[in-house]
Amino acid sequence: MNTAIVYSSITGNTKRIAESLKLSLSGSVIFHVDDAPVPENFDLIILGYWVDRGTSDKKMTEYMKRLNQCTIFLFGTMGADPEGEYAKGVKTAVERNLSGCRLMSHIQCRGEMQRSTLDRFVKVLEKNPEDELAVRKVNSYHASYGHPDDEDIKTIVDSAKKIVYELN
């Protein structure tokens, strides 16, 4: 199966998963979104993004909007709980960018957040210990530490393998 993996990564979380997919899917090619052509002649396009302000990062969003008549598997990394209400909203927002494509699956997992995020919200809490957003962000930072872990990666790789099998 002819598979393209296109990813965007700011902290290395999404890149790590994309590289694991490349190693696990024979015949696949991998591109950073900055270098990715509009894929033609691919049976499956796997898109990996990081979450920025409730949707996919800007570069991946722009890339997705250029796709048409493609079969897609999406995965995303985020500091928030991938099973929570926020994540559901992210999925909806991201999927709106894929017009005319066949979406096979969309998986999200935690990704370790940048240390600067923790530092910024700790400063907020020093001034206002009751700030609910800052408390949530600090808690999310700690919960996302060490992710994506081996289990997260295995879940995404196994899902991609299943899709490849179904498309063959």
Helix axes of 13-24 and 150-167: crossing angle, nearest 10 degrees: 40
pTM of the model: 0.95
* Residue 9 confidence (pLDDT) above 90: yes
Which of helix, strand or coil describes residue 12? coil
Q: Phi and psi dihedrals of 53, rounded to 5?
A: 55, 45
Amino acid 24: pLDDT: 97
* Residue 95 confidence (pLDDT) above 90: yes
Residue 1 banded pLDDT, cuts 50, 70, 90:
confident
In terms of pLDDT, which residue wins out, 20 or 27? 20
Please state, for a pLDDT cut of 70, what percent of the chain lies above it: 100
Residue 40 banded pLDDT, cuts 50, 70, 90:
confident
Task: Give the Å distances, CA to CA, from 163 to 1, 45, 92, 123, 156.
Answer: 11, 11, 21, 45, 11
Judging by DSSP bridges, how do beta strands 44-52 and 102-110 pair with one another?
Answer: unpaired
The pLDDT tens digits for 42-68 are 999 999 999 999 999 999 999 999 999
The pLDDT tens digits for 105-155 are 999 999 999 999 999 999 999 999 999 999 999 999 999 999 999 999 999
